[in-house]
Amino acid sequence: MKRLAVLLSGRGSNFEAIADRIKEGKLLARIEVVVSNVDAAPALEKARQRGLNTVVLNSQELGKEKFEQTLEKTLKDSKVDLICLAGFMKILSPSFIHKFPNQILNIHPSILPAFPGLDSQKQALDKGVKFSGCTVHFVNEGIDTGPIVLQAVVPVFESDDEQSLSNRILAEEHQLYVKAIDLVLRDKIRIKNGRVVRSSSQK
Amino acid sequence: MKRLAVLLSGRGSNFEAIADRIKEGKLLARIEVVVSNVDAAPALEKARQRGLNTVVLNSQELGKEKFEQTLEKTLKDSKVDLICLAGFMKILSPSFIHKFPNQILNIHPSILPAFPGLDSQKQALDKGVKFSGCTVHFVNEGIDTGPIVLQAVVPVFESDDEQSLSNRILAEEHQLYVKAIDLVLRDKIRIKNGRVVRSSSQK
């Protein structure tokens, strides 16, 4: 059984979607550890109720270096195959990322490369785009610039506010992230020239 | 009947789509003048065969200032309501654009703000996005940054090359541009805070 770590900072709705699909037997994996860099992340209680192993590493108190050292140890001790960022609001350093090559996934609420960084839904509304969506990508050294695994598109309506657009995108995120994790865990994709391609050899 | 100018530099497939919809009575407008900044643009012959008024202003020979002066005179003499860029490969200066406020439309082969500028389809393939598309926008001082009127989305397949992706997008462009021109000509939209919104008052 492949072993996942989920890193989060808040309510963890994508974490719940992943945990639900695992429980239903639709995603063959085990969440080995849930790590929050925020003490009061509401997702922590949800994880505990599910009987999952939770770790809190307060990134503000620890400082970047100590935080990443402890996080690295936690992840290596848990022998995780894949690290899923799910509303994880801390930027990981390049040196940390290099320690887990092609092992860190993130989900972002826009059709990247449009609207990277924070407040993507607001950025989209301010720009007046007619479509937005979400992207699952491998994490590289840039902000939301890594190889794209999957994307989904939603319409943007003139009546939308940040909340309504965020909700519409989030519903897609919950589907998309599980699909992407499944592709990675089953070795269905690989990275070639900085892009994700389907594996030609079946494993 | 509203009067259009179409500005182009090449084969003019969007020009033909517009002219066809007008001929079919599906777009209530008249193409008053077709302007090419390139002597040998294949679209010129197509325009002449349709009995349309064509003007060639060789932008390279004339130089930017003289080119824009002559273009301005041509458009004002033709009393056009709307100027449609259709594969027009010359960047218009801010001073020129200010002379035709909210009167210049462009179509671009990406879901802007992703992949502005040249070779959008190649940019999309290089980035490995799973969706691309096209955007009709008003022209402002930036490169493909103006208020967005309409967008359309197409999937990007792993087997795509520039040609196959361009063709898929182009088929959408031909539909989208006519819809956007129709909205503008019927005063169905207006620009508010740099974004396109539906007109609340019906005219």
Judge if pTM exceeds 0.80: yes
Written as six digits, the tokens of A138 are: 């491998």
Written as six digits, the tokens of A27 are: 């995603």
Query: Has residue A147 got a pLDDT over 50?
Result: yes
Q: How confident is the model at residue A201 (pLDDT cuts 50, 70, 90)?
A: low
In B161-190, which positions are buried (b, 16+ CB within 10 angstroms) versus exposed (e)? eeeebbebbbebbbebbbebbbbbbeeebe
Query: Has residue A181 got a pLDDT over 60?
Result: yes
Q: Tell me, what's the pLDDT at B203?
A: 42
Angstrom distance (rounded) from CA B6 to CA A55? 62
In sequence order, the β-bridge partners of residue A189 are: A198
Interchain contact B131–A (C-beta under 8 A): yes
Q: What is the dihedral of CA B30, B33, B34, B37, to 10 degrees?
A: -150
Angstrom distance (rounded) from CA B84 to CA B82? 6
Interchain contact A128–B (C-beta under 8 A): yes
Angstrom distance (rounded) from CA B8 to CA B36? 5
Distance of CA B103 to the CA centre of its chain: 11
Q: Which of B150, B153, B158 sits opposite A153 (nearest CB)?
A: B153
Q: Are B128 and A135 in contact (CB under 8 A)?
A: no
* Chain A residue with the nearest C-alpha to that of B116: A114
Residue range A113-130: mean pLDDT, rounded: 98
Residue B146's nearest CA partner among A122, A186, A128, A14 is: A128
* Chain A residue with the nearest C-alpha to that of B198: A158
Angstrom distance (rounded) from CA A112 to CA A89? 18
Q: Tell me, what's the pLDDT at B201?
A: 52
* Chain A residue with the nearest C-alpha to that of B130: A151
Angstrom distance (rounded) from CA B111 to CA A129? 8
Q: Which of B130, B158, B198 sits opposite A198 (nearest CB)?
A: B158
Determine the residue among B102, B108, B110, B111 to mutate to test chain A binding: the one whose Cβ has the most chain A Cβ atoms within 10 Å.
B111
Q: Tell me, what's the pLDDT at B88?
A: 96
Written as six digits, the tokens of B54 are: 């064509």
Query: Has residue A15 got a pLDDT over 60?
Result: yes
H helix or E strand, kind and range, residue A98: helix A94-98
Domain with CATH 3.40.50.170 in chain A: 1-100, 107-203
Q: Collect all residues of chain A within an 8 Å Cβ-Cβ radius of residue B150.
A: 130
Interchain contact A191–B (C-beta under 8 A): no
Q: Cβ contacts of residue A191 below 8 Å, gap of 6+?
A: A102, A138, A147, A197
Of the CA atoms within 13 Å of residue A137, those in its CB half-sphere come to 26
Looking at the domain covering A1-100, what would its CATH class be?
A: alpha beta
Q: Which of B111, B147, B198 sits opposite A131 (nearest CB)?
A: B111
Q: Collect all residues of chain B within an 8 Å Cβ-Cβ radius of residue A165.
A: none
Q: Is the ipTM of this complex over 0.85?
A: yes
Angstrom distance (rounded) from CA B52 to CA B17? 14
Residue A65's nearest CA partner among A37, A93, A100, A34 is: A93
Is A129–B147 a contact, with Cβ atoms under 8 angstroms apart?
Answer: no
Q: Which fold has domain A107-203?
A: Rossmann fold (3.40.50)
| Smallest Cα distance from A98 to chain B, Å | 21
Q: Tell me, what's the pLDDT at A203?
A: 41
pLDDT digits (tens, 9 = 90+) for A27-86: 999 999 999 999 999 999 999 999 999 999 999 999 999 999 999 999 999 999 999 999
Interchain contact A127–B (C-beta under 8 A): yes
Angstrom distance (rounded) from CA A55 to CA B47? 69
Angstrom distance (rounded) from CA A51 to CA A47? 6
Q: Collect all residues of chain A within an 8 Å Cβ-Cβ radius of residue B158.
A: 197-198
Written as six digits, the tokens of A54 are: 């939770």
Per-residue pLDDT of chain B (203 residues; tens, 9 = 90+): 999 999 999 999 999 999 999 999 999 999 999 999 999 999 999 999 999 999 999 999 999 999 999 999 999 999 999 999 999 999 999 999 999 999 999 999 999 999 999 999 999 999 999 999 999 999 999 999 999 999 999 999 999 999 999 999 999 999 999 999 999 999 999 999 999 999 975 44
Q: In chain A, at which residue ranges do the beta strands (DSSP E only) sit?
A: 3-8, 30-36, 54-56, 82-85, 104-108, 131-138, 148-155, 189-192, 195-198
